[in-house]
């Protein structure tokens, strides 16, 4: 069982190296590819690179009660505990619900023998050279990589929510 300090450590040590150019679409689905890079704690100069996709469904207007029933498909116990903590803090402020699906079957893991900085630099260059505008490069904590991925998605929601609320207001839905 993880403590709140473990979650806090993972969240504080999540660093977005490359953010997707697009925000979450207000009236459609949006897919993001992620590369989550973490240093293995029990090995010197061994780094894990996880590559996968997150699919964001179009935001929905909901009450705080609906937000409290958010389900995370495919995430483990630590991610569920982290969301429980977030629910307690955000109980009365949610206006939009963002639906994320995370498919672990789409995640690949590669171990690389090199320094963390070198792997981060190579992955950043790979994404930029391949012209992947919907990709993110994230540096995180290996044991709590799902928490790091959730932190990234929550930051993406915060970045997108202002425009999404504005779109809903312009259409008379809020």
The span from the CA of 161 to the CA of 174, in Å, is 13
Q: How many domains are there within the chain? A: 1
- Residue 93's pLDDT is 47
40 lies in which domain range? Answer: 4-170
Instruction: Assess whether pLDDT exceeds 70 at residue 71.
Output: no
pLDDT surpasses 90 at 123: yes
DSSP code of 167?
A: H
Do 19 and 134 meet the contact criterion of CB atoms below 8 Å apart?
no
Integer Cα distance of 17 and 34 in angstroms: 11
Rounded to whole angstroms, the Cα distance separating 25 from 163 reads 9
CA–CA gap between residue 168 and residue 161 (Å, rounded): 10
Q: Which stretch of DSSP H or E encloses residue 37?
A: strand 30-39
Query: What is the pLDDT of the chain when averaged over all its residues?
Result: 79
Residue 38 to residue 14: CA distance in whole angstroms? 10
Q: How far apart are CA 157 and CA 98, in angstroms?
A: 7
Summarised one tens digit per residue, pLDDT across range 153-171 is: 888 888 877 777 777 778 7
Cα separation, 137 vs 16, whole angstroms: 6
The per-residue pLDDT for range 3-60, each reduced to its tens digit, is 788 888 888 999 999 999 888 777 877 888 999 999 998 888 899 999 998 887 777 7
- Residue 99, class by beta-carbon neighbours within 10 Å (0-12 exposed, 13-18 middle, 19+ buried)? middle
Q: Which helix or strand (DSSP H or E) is residue 148 part of?
A: helix 145-170
Phi, psi (deg, nearest 5) at residue 110: -130, 135
Measured at the alpha carbon of residue 58, what is the angle toward residues 87 and 15, in degrees to the nearest 5?
55
């Amino acid at each position: 069982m993880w403590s709140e300090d473990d979650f806090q450590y993972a969240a504080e040590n999540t660093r977005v190296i490359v953010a997707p150019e697009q925000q979450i679409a207000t009236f459609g689905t949006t897919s993001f590819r992620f590369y989550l890079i973490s240093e293995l704690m029990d090995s010197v100069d061994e780094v894990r690179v996880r590559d996968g996709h997150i699919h964001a469904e179009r935001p929905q207007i909901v009450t705080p009660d609906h937000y409290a029933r958010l389900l995370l498909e495919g995430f483990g116990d630590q991610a569920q505990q982290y969301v429980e903590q977030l629910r307690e803090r955000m109980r009365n402020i949610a206006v939009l619900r963002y639906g994320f699906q995370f498919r672990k079957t789409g995640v690949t893991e590669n171990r690389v023998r090199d320094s963390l900085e070198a792997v981060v630099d190579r992955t950043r260059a790979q994404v930029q050279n391949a012209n992947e505008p919907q990709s993110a490069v994230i540096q995180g904590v290996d044991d709590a990589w799902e928490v790091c991925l959730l932190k990234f998605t929550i930051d993406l929601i915060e970045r997108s929510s202002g425009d999404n609320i504005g779109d809903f207001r312009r259409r008379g839905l809020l």
